[in-house]
Structure 1
Amino acid sequence: MGVRTTDAARAAFDRVATRPGWAACGLVVALSVASALAGVAPGPALRYLPLAASVVVLGLPHGAVDYLVPARLGDRSLPASMALVGAVYLLLGGAYAALWLVAPVPAAAFFIAMTWFHWGQGDVHALVAFVGADHLRSRPLRAATLFVRGGLPMFVPLLAFPDRYREVVAAWIELFGSDLTATWLFAPTTRLVGGGAFLAVTVATLLAGRLVADDRRGWRIDAGETALLWTLFLTVPPLAAVGVYFCVWHSLRHVLRVVAADGTTAVRAGLGRFAREAAPLTVLALVFLVGFGAVVPASPSTPAELSGLYLVFIAVLTLPHVAVVTWMDRREGVW
C-alpha cells in the first residue's frame, strides 16, 4: 500500500493546508474560550457564518471537479469521465434524495455514518500521501485512524454540546415532517460511556502507531492534529466548528489532492485551474439547491431551517462524492 506524492506537493500541502488549518482552528478555539470566560455567547450570525461561507468557499465546490477524476487518474476520455461521474451522481444522489423524502430518520443516521467515514478517509489520505506518516503502513491502523479522525467532527460535538447537536439533526428531519425521538442518544450516561470509549480508541490508536513508527515526525503530526481537533470540537459550538473544519480542513486538503493528481507543480496555477473547473458545477449545484428547497415538505425560513436544508442537500451530494473518492483511494493505493 504505497501512495506516490512529489516533494513539491508535500511542501505545498504544508504551506497551503496544514498551516492555515492550524491557524484557523486555533483562532476559533481561542475566540470560543475567551467568549465562554467572558460570559458572552456568540450570536446566531457568528455560529452560522462558517457554514454559510462553505457554500462558495471550498466547502460545496471541493467536490465539483469529480467529473474530471476518472480522466486524470484512469484511462478514460473526458466525455466518458463526465458521463460516468454524472451517472453516479444521478443514481446515488437521486436514490438518497428519495430516501430523505420517505424515511428521513434513517437517512439522517446514514448521513452521520457516511460523513464519519468520508472525513476519516480524507485525513488518512492526507497523512499517508502528504505527511508521509509511516506508522500507518498497515491496513488495520489506517482503518482505526479513519474511525478516530472521522469521529472527531461527527461524534465529539455530541459529547460537549448535546442540545445543539440534537437541534441540528432535528432540523434535518423536520424538513420532511418527522421528529427526532431518540433521546437516549443525548443522555448523560450515553455520552459518558461513548465519550470514554472513543477517547480510549483515540489513545490506543495513537499508541499503536507510535510503537511501529520509524520516523516519528509523521506520528507527531498525527497526534498533534488529533489533539487539536479534539479541542476544536469540545470547545466550539457544533455548526461553527464543523463549518470551519469543512472549509479549511477537509475541503482544502481534498482540493490539494486533486491539484496534485493534476500534476501541476505550481500551486497557484493548480488552485486557479481548480477554481475555474469547479465553478460551473458549483453554480449548477446552487441551482439544484434552490430546486431541492422547493420539493421538501417544509418551507425553511429561519437560519436553523435553512442550514438544515443546506446540510441535507450536501448529504445528497456527499454519497456519490464518497464513491468517487473511494475509487481514488483504491487507484492511488491508500488501501
Structure 2
Amino acid sequence: MGSLSLLPLILLPEAWARGLLLLSALVLGLPHGAADVLVACRLGFSFPVFVGAYLLLSLLPLALLLAYPPLGLLAFLFLALFHWGRVERKGFLGFLRAGTVLLFPFLFHGEAIAPFLRTFAQGYALPPGVALSLWLGLLLLALRERHPWAQWGDTLALALLAALAHPYAALAGYFLLQHSLDSLRLVGVRGQEWLAVYAATLAALALAFALYPRFQDPLAAYMALLFALTLPHALTLEAWLARSRLPRRWPGPGGKSPRPGPRGRSGPA
C-alpha cells in the first residue's frame, strides 16, 4: 500500500491510534512474524530445533530490556530499523523509510510518546539531536543511490505521515499496511497455512500476557513482546531472503514463481 493512502491516519486521535496499533497483535502485525513457522518448514529446518532456538534467541533481547530498559530501547530501535529496511529491499532508501517511522517520534512527538517510554524504558528517550543525526545520515546514504522518483515521492509521503500523525498511528500504518504485508508477500502464506500462522500468533500472545504484570500497560507489554521476537524473526527472514530462489511449489504474489533478482535473490530488488 502506498504511503499516500496512509495520510488519512493523520486525523486519528490518540485513543484510536493506540487501538489500531494494539489491533496489529491479531491482524497482520504479529501474524506476519508467526509466519516464520512456514519459513522454517520451507527451508527444511528441524521444527523442534527451530522452535527451541527461536525461543532462546527471543529471551536475549527480553532479558536486556528487563535488566537495562534504556539500552533495550536502543536495541529495539536498531533491530527494527535493520529488519524493516531489509524487508523494504530498496537499499539505504529502505533503511531511511524505516528510520523515518522510528526516529521521527523523538523529533516531533516527544510529549506524545513520553507515557509509553516511562513504562517501557524507564522514561529514557533518544535525544532529538541523535535521532536527527541518524536520520540525516540515512538520507545522505540513500541519496547516493539511484531510486525512481516515485519511490522518493512515496518516502516523502511517509515522512509527512510520521511528522504530522500521532506516532502510534504512523507506526501502526507502516507496520500493518507496509512492512507486514511486504513480509507476508515474501513468504507467500496460502489457504490453510493461515491456521498454523494464527496458532503461532496465539502462542506468542501468551508471552505478552505474561509480561503485562511487569509493565502494567498493554502497549508496553505488546512492544516488549515484539522486541523479544524481532531478533529471531529477523534472522529467519534473513535466511529466507538469502535463498537462491523460491521453490516452485511456493508461488509468490499473483500465483507465479518469482524470478531470481539481482545477486541471485528471488523477488523484487
TM superposition score category, shorter chain reference: 0.7 to 0.9
Distance 1:110-1:209 versus aligned 2 partners, 3 A rule: same
Using the TM superposition, give the Cα deviation of residue 59 of structure 1 relative to its aligned residue in structure 2, in angstroms: 0.6
Match of 1:195 in 2: 132
**What is the 5 A alignment of 1:214-253?**
219-253=148-182
CA distance in 1, matches of 2:183, 2:193: 11
CA distance in 1, matches of 2:230, 2:145: 31
**8 Å CA contact 2:70, 2:124 repeated in 1:** no
Whichever residue aligns with residue 157 of structure 1, its letter is P
Match of 2:202 in 1: 283
CA distance in 2, matches of 1:68, 1:154: 28
Deviations 1:71-110 (A, max 9, x none): 32x3x26xx1x22321221111122222222222211110
**8 Å CA contact 2:209, 2:221 repeated in 1:** no
| 1:180 corresponds to 2:117 | no
Distance 1:204-1:48 versus aligned 2 partners, 3 A rule: same
Structure of higher RCO (CA pairs closer than 8 Å, 6+ residues apart): 1
Runs (4+) of structure 1 exceeding 4 A deviation are 332-335
Distance 1:181-1:99 versus aligned 2 partners, 3 A rule: closer
**What is the 5 A alignment of 1:254-269?**
254-259=183-188
Match of 1:163 in 2: 111
**8 Å CA contact 2:93, 2:142 repeated in 1:** yes
Structure 2: state its 5+ residue gaps: 245-263
**8 Å CA contact 2:208, 2:224 repeated in 1:** no
Whichever residue aligns with residue 95 of structure 2, its letter is F
Distance 1:114-1:245 versus aligned 2 partners, 3 A rule: same
Distance 1:85-1:145 versus aligned 2 partners, 3 A rule: farther
**What is the 5 A alignment of 1:24-43?**
25-29=6-10, 31=11, 42=13
Distance 1:96-1:63 versus aligned 2 partners, 3 A rule: same
**What is the 5 A alignment of 1:1-335?**
18=1, 22-23=4-5, 25-29=6-10, 31=11, 42=13, 44-72=14-42, 74=43, 76=44, 80=46, 82-124=47-89, 127=90, 142=91, 144-173=92-121, 179-181=122-124, 185-186=127-128, 190=129, 195=132, 198-199=135-136, 201-202=138-139, 205-206=142-143, 208-210=145-147, 219-259=148-188, 270=190, 272-294=191-213, 296=214, 298=215, 300=216, 305-332=217-244, 333-334=264-265
Give me the identity figure in percent: 26
- Give the TM-score of the pair, scaled to structure 2: 0.81
Using the TM superposition, give the Cα deviation of residue 150 of structure 1 relative to its aligned residue in structure 2, in angstroms: 2.0
Distance 1:274-1:223 versus aligned 2 partners, 3 A rule: farther
**8 Å CA contact 1:92, 1:319 repeated in 2:** yes
Which of the pair has more CA radius of gyration? 1
Whichever residue aligns with residue 119 of structure 1, its letter is W
What secondary structure sits across from 1:155 in the alignment? Answer: helix
**8 Å CA contact 1:206, 1:223 repeated in 2:** no
CA distance in 1, matches of 2:146, 2:95: 14
Distance 1:94-1:204 versus aligned 2 partners, 3 A rule: closer
CA distance in 2, matches of 1:246, 1:99: 23
Higher helix proportion, which one? Answer: 1
Whichever residue aligns with residue 286 of structure 1, its letter is L
What secondary structure sits across from 1:87 in the alignment? Answer: helix
CA distance in 1, matches of 2:183, 2:38: 14
CA distance in 2, matches of 1:201, 1:315: 22
Distance 1:200-1:89 versus aligned 2 partners, 3 A rule: closer
CA distance in 1, matches of 2:133, 2:124: 24
Structure 1: state its 5+ residue gaps: 1-17, 33-41, 128-141, 174-178, 211-218, 263-269
**8 Å CA contact 1:121, 1:146 repeated in 2:** yes
Using the TM superposition, give the Cα deviation of residue 284 of structure 1 relative to its aligned residue in structure 2, in angstroms: 1.0
